[in-house]
Amino acid sequence: MSLFSLTPTFTQGLVVGQLSILLLLVVIIRHLFLDSAKTQPVHTPAPLPVRPPPQESEKAKAEAEGEWRTGDAETAEWFNLLLNLCVQTYREELRANLPGPAGDEAARARIERWANATLQSDIMDTIVIHSVDLGMSAPRICEARLVPDLNDPNGFVAECNLSYTDSVSVSLSTSVLFNYPVPMFARLPVSLTLSLSLFSGNATIKPPSPTAIAPSVTLTLAPHFHLELRTTSLLGSRAKLADVPKIHQMLEERIKRAISDRATWKFMLPGLAARTAREGIPDTLL
C-alpha cells in the first residue's frame, strides 16, 4: 500500500503528526528566542560592576605605602611602583590621553575595532562594545626570591608570586548567526558583561646568558594559575535566558587557554641587534 494513498491510514497520520509537531517547535523557538536577520536587535547590556568608593581606594593606597616603608626588601614594592606607572601609561595611551568621558569613548571605540578585526567569524555578527572599564590598579609581585635554574646547574632564576585584583570589565552585544537552511536564516542576540575579579599565579624571570647568541630576559608564567571572572549574559530576542552557566564556563576556559598559549615572553637586551643579524637569527625567534 502506498504511503500517500487517498485513504488515510495509521502510518500517514503518524508521519503527518510528527511533522506538525516538529514544525510547531521550529516556529515557537524562532519566535521566542531568535530574531529575524533583516532586523537589528536592540540589546540592553548588563550593568557594569560598581567600582569601590574613592575613600576605599585611598585607604588601600595608604596601607600599601605603609607596607612598602616597613616591609622587607623581598616584597619588591619598588618594582610594584614602577609596574604601576608602566600600566598606567598604557592605560592612558588606550584612552588616547583624553580625560573623562572622552577617554572612555576613545578606549571603547579602539577595543571595538580590535574585537571586530580579531574575532571575525561566519557565525558571529558585528560586535558592539557598549562600555569598558580599564581599571585602576596594576599587577603586583611579592615574595621575590632567587632559586637554582633546573636547566642550568650554574644559573639561577627569580621566582615571585604575581597577583592582580581590579575592576577591569567590558560590556558587549552581538548575534550568533544561523546559516541553515539558508544563509542568515536567523540570529540569536547575545548580551554579555565580562569582569575580572582576580588573577594570581607564580612567575619566573630568567636572566640572559652572556654567551647566548640572542641574550634575552625571559618571563614565564606558571601553568597552574588562578583566574576568577564574573559574567552576566542574556540570550534571546523576545524570551531571554539570563546568566547561562555554560557561557561562563566556555569563556573562562578560552581565556585560560589563551593565557597558557602566551605564557612566555622574551625581551631581547638593547643594542644586540647587530650581533643577532651577524648570526642570521630571524626576528620571529627573538
State how far the Cα of 94 lies from the Cα of 78, in Å rounded to an integer.
25
pLDDT tops 50 at residue 70: no
φ, ψ of residue 218 to 5 degrees: the values are -110, 125
The pLDDT value given to residue 7: 66
How many beta carbons lie within 10 A of that of residue 127, not counting itself?
21
Q: What is the pLDDT of residues 251-286, one digit of tens each?
A: 999 999 999 998 898 888 777 655 555 555 555 444
Q: Identify the bridge partners of residue 193 per DSSP, sorted by sequence position.
A: 232
Q: At what angle do helices 100-118 and 77-94 cross, to 10 degrees?
A: 80
Q: What is the pLDDT of residues 230-239, one digit of tens each?
A: 999 998 877 6
Greater confidence (25 vs 198) lies with 198
State how far the Cα of 102 lies from the Cα of 106, in Å rounded to an integer.
6
Query: Are 205 and 218 a contacting pair, CB within 8 Å?
Result: yes
**Residues comprising the chain, all counted:** 286
Q: What is the pLDDT of residues 6-52, one digit of tens each?
A: 566 767 777 777 777 777 776 666 666 666 555 554 455 555 555 55
CA 71 → CA 146, 158, 160, distances in Å? Answer: 18, 19, 16
Matching residue, cell 579602539: 110
